[in-house]
Amino acid sequence: MQTDRLLTGVLRAGAVLAALVMLLILCFLLLESWPVLTGLSVFRFLTDASWHPLEGAYNLMPMLAGTLLASIGALILAVPLGIASALFIVFFAPLHLASIYKRLIELLAGIPSVVFGFWGLTTLAPLIGEWQPPGASLLAGVLVLTLMILPMITITAYTALAAVPKELLQNASALGLSRWGTVRGVALPAARTGITAGVILAAARALGETMAVLMVAGNVVQYPESVFDPVRTLAANIALEMAYAMGDHRSVLFVSGLLLMLLVMVLSAMAGLLEKRRYA
Amino acid sequence: MPETIPLQTKQKIRDCTAQGLIYLAVLLVSAVFVWLLTDLVRGGIAHLSWAFLTESPHDAGRTGGIASILVSTLLILLVALITAIPLAWSTAILMAEFVPVESNFGKTVRFSLYVLAGVPSIVFGLFGNAFFSIYLGLGFSILSGGLTLACMLLPILTSTAEAGLRAVPDTYRLSAAALGISRTAALIHLIMPAAAPALTAGLLIGVGRALAETAALLFTSGYVDRMPGSLLDSGRALALHIFDLSMNVPGGDNAAYASALVLVCLLLSINILAMKLAYGLQRRKIMT
Amino acid sequence: MTIDTNAFTLGPLEAGPPCCEPQTVIQVRNLSLHYESQAALDNVSLDIYKGCITALIGPSGCGKTSFLSAINRMTDLIPGCSVDGRILVDNEDIHHPKTDVQSLRRRIGMVFQKPTPFPLSIRRNLALPLNEHGVTQTKEVIVIIKKALQDVGLWDEVCDRLDAPALSLSGGQQQRLCIARALALNPEILLMDEPCSALDPIASGVVEDLICRLQGRYTIVIVTHNLAQARRIANYAAFFWVRERTGQLVEFGRCRHIFESPRDALTAAYVNGNRG
């Protein structure tokens, strides 16, 4: 009994420490961005003429737009492809092909973002550049992000579809529904919350992704006029400027980190609520 | 005249279109990924050799190898695991074995880790720079990089371990209790060994995450590509090396390809191993 | 029932005292048990006699298993479960703050419905609880293991593969291993929760026979749904019934009385197969 009590004590200490990490991160982000949050008007992030941190111009909006555009573009491409891939694995593929394809997707989920970025930089961007220079552009960023979040969407959609009770599907077939009729009428609605949660998590991942986008998107701070214009995302901006940022500039970078984290936290809270509702 | 087309034919057309589109999507995805992988292999294999793995980089990495990079990567990984595993596993054991799911303590810890899991890696980088490098004065070092990664690995290590422990049948706990075995002893002799494959699989997934990480290390472990002399030296991780070679070193593409190939091979073997463990686990569950 | 006598041989068993002088080992007084707010057992008082087999019979949900779990305080492990009333084992209150649960559970062995061998070797299954209770000398441990396995008739079947995984044994062998595991701790009392119901008829017969042979040496409390089995093996029987989802003790007495001349009409209906 005494050892039990000792053990729970030690474990509890470990758990408390682990839980405190999140608090610590929040504290330090706030601490570092405090000078700017209190010293500067928040509206300056919206209304400053441009992003010239060395001259004290801190307009974050173009980069926020770049971040959102890249993520939305990637979702537009990856959601249909991912759901189609999951449907293929669960309903349409012959058995051995399904397992091979699933393996492929799982392995791709393990490829690091820097490798995707590197491939985009050496292969994708020059290819786009031949067609519409300069190549390093919003489009390249979108494509690389698509590749990165596609496995995630596929795997969550697959899990949700595979969890649809077999009886439901058999019943649908017994009612004379065709394969696509079963999929669209029964399987997809039944798996809807799970798939949505997966898509939201993928969106969070896309918003926070740094390296891949940094390497292919061109990193010019501007509102893009077409998909072939280079853009800079918030995360890429942090990675680019952190090395030499001082004073207010550094604080603004922490503010953008905080902003990024809040965006991602809202999304993952949404996904969490959906998951909870699924099990409720 | 759509009325003249019978319903069944219309359905058949719709079914075929849907199926065709799905096959097309799968083909597209597979083609792109095969393209990516062949590109990597073709670009990397030419430059890859034993010497590449055992020599240190020269001329900013254009020539020479990645020996010092591999050592730094390994050290960062070790620091991260040694810090994260005790915390993560004790949290998991507490959550799975001792604390009721609905208790406030359990809910708080779980919520905190859930939020932590969603934090983007660049934000971990910011935090690591502010806390470990500057506040704790560790500077740009393997130690700060490793500790930052440890924070990042906590959620994944905890959740995989907790799931593994929960998958151990309750009968073991009950019969151990009925034999008057203390919970500590049951944990050490029965439950942890039974959950070992799951714990290992989770550990491997964590290792994979750590190896793939770049953004969190940018301004914590730094860029220095020399062989690290101590944990307080700056050391460049493999993923960061690829980034640096391709972005900042003109003419570094060959070395970058080779490094990328090494990294991808490492990650693939780790992932395959983790998957094997997980599948084996499932099969065993079906058998008993 | 025909029993394949080749399936096992019983080891030497010491004869226990005959079960004729009722000597109380466990006194249960006004035991009530709640899960959250739902009462599972209401005001049960019962004596368990030394060296005898007491069978607990009754329909599903009448609280037999809850009663059994209360005796070795396994109920502590069920969240939301509260126990009122007193249980004395050898005149010691098991709920006394000074009572050590672990040594209580060593003195009161328990066998579950489904065989629950640990995913370890046969040897380790028996050695682990022994080590936990301070028997660490390898020689001593192997002597105890051998005796326990002989007692359950498993020694001849497994003596040449003690290091094989316990999960490789058949269901009946696993259950006997679990009984041996409990016996190795040299308990005074054995609690058995339908130990035969998850086994095939032949294995069930072997285990039943084993339980009969343990009579006298151990005080056995057994939950069973099989009335014929209770009649065959038990000295005493306690009949539980469920009213409004709460279990209560209807009648307790010598097995023969319960089955042949029950005082309560409900008992009579149940043992004759008219109710339940």
| pLDDT number for residue B284 | 56
Topology (CATH) of B50-287: MetI-like fold (1.10.3720)
CA distance A120 to A109: 16
| pLDDT number for residue B1 | 45
Q: How confident is the model at residue C14 (pLDDT cuts 50, 70, 90)?
A: very low
Kindly report the number of other CB atoms within 10 A of residue A224's CB atom: 22
**Chain A residues closer than 8 Å to C132 by CB:** none
* Structure token pair of residue C262: 């029950």
- Inform me whether the pLDDT recorded for B283 exceeds 70: no
Pick the CATH number of A61-279 from 3.40.640.10, 2.40.50.140, 3.40.366.10, 1.10.3720.10: 1.10.3720.10
**Across the interface, do A4 and B182 touch by the CB < 8 Å criterion?**
yes
Q: Element (H or E) spanning C252, and its range?
A: strand C246-254
Q: Is A49 exposed, middle or buried (0-12, 13-18, 19+ CB in 10 A)?
A: exposed
CA distances from B117 to A160, B151, B200, B217, C132 (A): 21, 10, 19, 17, 39
CA distance B119 to B115: 7
* Structure token pair of residue C119: 């995913």
- What confidence tens digit (pLDDT) does each residue in B115-147 have? 899 899 999 999 999 999 999 999 999 999 999
pTM recorded for the entire structure: 0.84
Q: Is C175 on the interface with B (CB under 8 A)?
A: no
**Across the interface, do B122 and A122 touch by the CB < 8 Å criterion?**
no
Contact A169, A182 (CB under 8 A): yes
Residue of chain C nearest A2, judged by CA positions: C100
A133 or B164, which is more confident? B164
- Inform me whether the pLDDT recorded for C19 exceeds 80: no
Q: Element (H or E) spanning A215, and its range?
A: helix A211-216
Q: What is the DSSP string of C50-97?
A: TT-EEEEE-STTSSHHHHHHHHTTGGGGSTTEEEEEEEEETTEETTST
Any idea what DSSP says for residue A43?
Answer: T
Q: Is B211 on the interface with A (CB under 8 A)?
A: yes
For chain B, give every domain's residue range.
50-287
Q: Which of B87, B114, B187 comes nearest A17 by C-beta?
A: B87
Contact B259, B241 (CB under 8 A): yes
CA distance C238 to C243: 16
For chain A, give every domain's residue range.
61-279
**Across the interface, do B267 and A211 touch by the CB < 8 Å criterion?**
no
| pLDDT number for residue B4 | 64
**Chain C residues closer than 8 Å to A1 by CB:** 100-102
CA distance A234 to B260: 26
Contact C73, C101 (CB under 8 A): yes
**Across the interface, do C167 and B180 touch by the CB < 8 Å criterion?**
no
Where do runs of H (alpha helix) occur along B129-237? 142-166, 170-178, 183-186, 192-212
**Chain B residues closer than 8 Å to C77 by CB:** 173-174, 177
Distance from the A272 Cα atom to the nearest Cα atom in chain C, whole angstroms: 26
Contact B211, B267 (CB under 8 A): yes
Segment B159-181 mean pLDDT: 91
CA distance C276 to C262: 16
Q: Is B192 on the interface with A (CB under 8 A)?
A: no
CA distance C107 to C116: 19
**Across the interface, do B178 and C118 touch by the CB < 8 Å criterion?**
no
- Inform me whether the pLDDT recorded for C15 exceeds 50: no
Q: Contact partners of B by the rule of 3+ C-beta pairs under 8 A? A: A, C
- Inform me whether the pLDDT recorded for B278 exceeds 80: no
Q: Contact partners of C by the rule of 3+ C-beta pairs under 8 A? A: A, B
Q: Element (H or E) spanning C239, and its range?
A: strand C236-243
**Chain C residues closer than 8 Å to B180 by CB:** 101-106, 129, 132-133, 185
Average pLDDT, chain C: 86
- What confidence tens digit (pLDDT) does each residue in C110-169 have? 999 888 888 889 999 999 889 888 888 899 999 999 999 998 989 999 989 999 999 899
Q: Is A1 on the interface with C (CB under 8 A)?
A: yes
| pLDDT number for residue A64 | 93
**Chain C residues closer than 8 Å to B175 by CB:** 110, 112, 116, 118, 178
| pLDDT number for residue C88 | 92
- Inform me whether the pLDDT recorded for C80 exceeds 90: no
Distance from the A166 Cα atom to the nearest Cα atom in chain B, whole angstroms: 18
| pLDDT number for residue A243 | 86
Q: Contact partners of A by the rule of 3+ C-beta pairs under 8 A? A: B, C
**Chain A residues closer than 8 Å to C101 by CB:** 1
Q: What is the ipTM of this complex?
A: 0.91
Contact A189, A120 (CB under 8 A): no
CA distance B260 to B52: 13
SS3 state at C17: coil
Ranges of residues in chain A with a pLDDT under 70 are: 1, 278-280
**Across the interface, do B158 and A18 touch by the CB < 8 Å criterion?**
yes
Residues within 8 A of A (CB atoms), B 62-101 only: 86-91, 93-95, 98
**Across the interface, do B23 and A25 touch by the CB < 8 Å criterion?**
no
Q: Is C100 on the interface with A (CB under 8 A)?
A: yes
**Across the interface, do B174 and C182 touch by the CB < 8 Å criterion?**
no
B8 or B131, which is more confident? B131
Distance from the B285 Cα atom to the nearest Cα atom in chain C, whole angstroms: 12
| pLDDT number for residue C182 | 92
What pairing do the DSSP bridges indicate for beta strands C24-35 and C219-223?
A: unpaired
Q: Element (H or E) spanning C25, and its range?
A: strand C24-35
**Chain B residues closer than 8 Å to A20 by CB:** 112
Spatial CA neighbour of C104 closest among B182, B169, B189: B182
Segment B71-88 mean pLDDT: 95
Residues within 8 A of C (CB atoms), B 183-212 only: 185, 189-190, 193-194
**Residue that has been written with the tokens 């809040």 in this structure:** A262
Q: Element (H or E) spanning A26, and its range?
A: helix A2-39
| pLDDT number for residue A134 | 86
- Inform me whether the pLDDT recorded for C1 exceeds 60: no
Q: How confident is the model at residue C20 (pLDDT cuts 50, 70, 90)?
A: low
| pLDDT number for residue A50 | 84
Residue of chain B nearest A180, judged by CA positions: B15
- Inform me whether the pLDDT recorded for C260 exceeds 50: yes
Q: Which of B177, B179, B185 comes nearest C185 by C-beta?
A: B179
- What confidence tens digit (pLDDT) does each residue in B230-243 have? 888 999 999 999 99
Kindly report the number of other CB atoms within 10 A of residue A123's CB atom: 15
B contact test, residue of A1, A2, A5, A11 with most B CBs within 10 A: A11
**Residue that has been written with the tokens 């490829």 in this structure:** A111
CA distance B191 to C264: 47
The beta strand positions in A7-147, using DSSP E, are 51-52, 57-58
Q: Which of C79, C105, C116 comes nearest B180 by C-beta?
A: C105
Beta bridge partner(s), residue C46: C28
**Chain B residues closer than 8 Å to C187 by CB:** none
Spatial CA neighbour of A213 closest among A262, A129, A146, A261: A146
- Inform me whether the pLDDT recorded for B285 exceeds 60: no
Q: How confident is the model at residue C6 (pLDDT cuts 50, 70, 90)?
A: very low
Q: How confident is the model at residue B12 (pLDDT cuts 50, 70, 90)?
A: confident
**Chain C residues closer than 8 Å to B288 by CB:** 167
